[in-house]
């Protein structure tokens, strides 16, 4: 099935717009015919969306095997057939960037286009009409800034955190009239920048955004037998992610937080009859994460009230922000990573902040938090975006060579550690009295 957030975009035919209005100036149907491509409904919807002058940002959550990388490369080349056009194809890493680079070379060869520059190292192709197609990686975004682009395509956007790459580095490069961006990927959970951008397409606050969601049903090359085989060999989470473009779960996800029932507004909550405590994961190059939690003894429910999350700050700066939260919520206990003894000493000696070494059994702590989450006993204030992201994105390390399971170290793991320190240490110490 296909879902399109704006009602004026069709998926079953190419919408005919005047050449002066549409984004892709050349006749796309003729180009696709020459390639022998008959686009499926998701590809058609993406083309219609990017062509429509109302929408600058198109976010497509598409299941596997729908030709999302191929159609994005076709769109990129069509744009570059207009002189002095510049397209950037962003991928999560070098390997995926190479796929787009090879696709562009093949398309150029197919149409016998004249190339004046083909730099494999920098992954830049320049055509004789002065247009350029540049490939880039989210990990090295600085290498592709410094020019204006007509179109930026984020391929497999959910595989990495591209929020800052787009908002800070790349959005300013879309400074031409009607310049656009496409974000296309199979989803990887709800609390990441790809999901955030996807839901913008459904909001009246973002009228220039449009979203598309397409499941395996939109791919005519996938048979019922293929689906039966996939269900036999994949977990439910993996199948829902890969074939149903489901934002709610993904393979390797550690905790399954109930977004519908367990998010609220606790700004006015009465904590006088509750225990208020916090978890602290200290970062040096990585962010320092701090979460404030209140335990309601009557309902046996935990409420995440507040958070602090920042990197590249001094101990003094971290202490000042944490002190504000201590005073605001009257925090009883702060459970800190036992490896951060220098910070613990500095906090006590210099800033009068007392901390307790957290219990650090990783797998036991993860299991303990899972029990709380699975029973809907963890409620989170809507403003705690980093906690919500951690609950959603914390995942097992997929490395097959590991001797035992361990969580992946990434941007979700810092607040997840703080949350684990707090919940696991509190319930296994204070509640045992």
Domain with 277 in it: what CATH number? Answer: 3.30.420.280
Same domain, residue pair 317 and 190: no
Given pLDDT bands bounded at 50, 70 and 90, which one contains residue 328? Answer: very high
Same domain, residue pair 274 and 201: no
Same domain, residue pair 145 and 278: no
Average pLDDT, the chain: 89
Does the pTM of the predicted model rise above 0.85? no
Does the CA dihedral 344-415-408-96 come out positive or negative?
A: negative
Q: Is 135 a domain residue?
A: yes
Same domain, residue pair 308 and 180: no
Q: Among the listed ranges 27-31, 114-118, 151-155, which one has the minimum average pLDDT value?
A: 27-31
Q: Among the listed ranges 73-82, 281-290, 315-324, 392-401, which one has the minimum average pLDDT value?
A: 392-401
Same domain, residue pair 199 and 102: yes
pLDDT at 52: 95
Span 31-57, average pLDDT: 92
Order of strands across the sheet with 356-357? 263-264, 378-381, 301-310, 288-296, 275-281, 333-336, 356-357
Q: Which residue has the higher pLDDT, 189 or 122?
A: 122
pLDDT at 403: 67
* Structural domain total, the chain: 2
Domain that holds residue 223: 2-244
Same domain, residue pair 194 and 129: yes
Same domain, residue pair 233 and 281: no
Span 368-379, average pLDDT: 93
CATH code, 120: 3.40.50.300
| 45 CB-near residues (< 8 Å, 6+ apart) | 2, 4, 9, 10, 11, 60, 212, 214
Span 147-160, average pLDDT: 89
Q: Is 87 a domain residue?
A: yes
Same domain, residue pair 216 and 307: no
Domain boundary among 244, 278, 305: 244
Q: Is 44 a domain residue?
A: yes
Q: Which residue has the higher pLDDT, 139 or 25?
A: 25
Res. 433: pLDDT tops 60: no
Q: Is 256 a domain residue?
A: no
Res. 312: pLDDT tops 80: yes
**pLDDT tens digits, one per residue of 224-265:** 888 888 888 887 877 888 888 888 777 788 898 988 899 999
Given pLDDT bands bounded at 50, 70 and 90, which one contains residue 132? Answer: very high
Span 298-312, average pLDDT: 94
pLDDT at 349: 94
**DSSP collapsed to 3 states, 100-115:** HHHHHHHHHHHCCCCE
**Distance of alpha carbon 371 from alpha carbon 255, whole angstroms:** 9
Same domain, residue pair 76 and 136: yes
Res. 266: pLDDT tops 50: yes
**pLDDT tens digits, one per residue of 179-233:** 999 999 988 877 678 888 999 999 999 999 999 999 988 877 788 888 888 888 8
Span 141-169, average pLDDT: 85
Span 36-58, average pLDDT: 93
Same domain, residue pair 106 and 215: yes
Given pLDDT bands bounded at 50, 70 and 90, which one contains residue 430? Answer: low
Instruction: Tell me which of 3, 156, 251, 427 is the catalytic residue.
Output: 156
Q: Is 156 a catalytic residue?
A: yes
Q: Is 253 a domain residue?
A: no
Q: Is 250 a domain residue?
A: no
Domain boundary among 188, 212, 244: 244
pLDDT at 278: 97
> 90, 162 in Cβ contact below 8 A?
yes
Q: Is 31 a domain residue?
A: yes
Same domain, residue pair 165 and 239: yes
Same domain, residue pair 232 and 267: no
| 139 CB-near residues (< 8 Å, 6+ apart) | 92, 93, 94, 160
Q: Is 249 a domain residue?
A: no
């Amino acid at each position: 099935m296909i879902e399109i957030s704006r009602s004026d975009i069709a998926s079953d035919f190419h919408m005919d717009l005047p050449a002066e209005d549409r984004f892709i100036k050349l006749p796309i149907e003729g180009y696709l015919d020459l390639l022998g491509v008959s686009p499926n409904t998701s590809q058609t919807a993406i083309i219609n969306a990017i062509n429509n002058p109302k929408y600058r940002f198109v976010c497509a959550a598409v299941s596997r095997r729908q030709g999302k990388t191929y159609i994005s490369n076709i769109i990129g080349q069509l744009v570059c057939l207009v002189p002095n056009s510049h397209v950037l194809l962003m991928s999560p890493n070098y390997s995926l960037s190479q796929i787009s680079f090879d696709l562009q070379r093949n398309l150029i060869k197919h149409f016998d286009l004249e190339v004046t520059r083909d730099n494999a190292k920098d992954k830049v192709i320049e055509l004789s009409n002065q247009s350029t197609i540049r490939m880039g990686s989210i990990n090295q975004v600085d290498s592709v800034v410094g020019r204006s682009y007509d179109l930026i395509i984020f391929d497999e956007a959910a595989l990495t955190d591209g929020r800052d790459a787009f908002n800070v580095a790349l959005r300013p490069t879309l400074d031409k009239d009607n310049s656009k961006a496409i974000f296309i990927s199979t989803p990887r959970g709800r609390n990441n920048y790809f999901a955030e951008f996807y839901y913008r397409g459904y909001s009246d606050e973002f009228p220039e955004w449009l979203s598309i969601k397409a499941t395996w049903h939109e791919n005519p090359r996938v048979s019922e037998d293929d689906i039966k085989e996939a269900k036999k060999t994949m977990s439910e989470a993996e199948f829902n992610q890969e074939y149903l473009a489901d934002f709610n779960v993904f393979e390797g996800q550690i905790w399954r937080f109930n977004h519908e029932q367990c998010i609220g507004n606790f700004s006015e909550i009465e904590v006088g009859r509750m225990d208020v405590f916090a978890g602290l994961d200290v970062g040096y190059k990585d962010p320092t994460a701090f979460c404030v939690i209140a335990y309601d003894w009557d309902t046996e429910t935990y409420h995440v009230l507040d958070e602090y999350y920042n990197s590249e700050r001094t101990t003094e700066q971290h202490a000042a922000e944490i002190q504000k939260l201590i005073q605001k919520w009257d925090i009883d206990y702060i459970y800190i990573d036992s490896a951060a003894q220098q910070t613990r000493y500095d906090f006590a000696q210099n800033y009068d902040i007392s901390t307790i070494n957290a219990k650090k059994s990783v797998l036991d702590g993860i299991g303990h938090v899972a029990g709380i989450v699975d029973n809907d006993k963890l409620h989170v204030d809507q403003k705690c975006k980093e906690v919500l992201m951690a609950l959603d994105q914390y995942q097992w390390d997929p490395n097959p060579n590991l001797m035992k399971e361990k969580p992946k170290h990434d941007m979700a793991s810092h607040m997840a550690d703080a949350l684990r320190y707090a919940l696991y240490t509190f319930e296994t110490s204070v509640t045992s009295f």
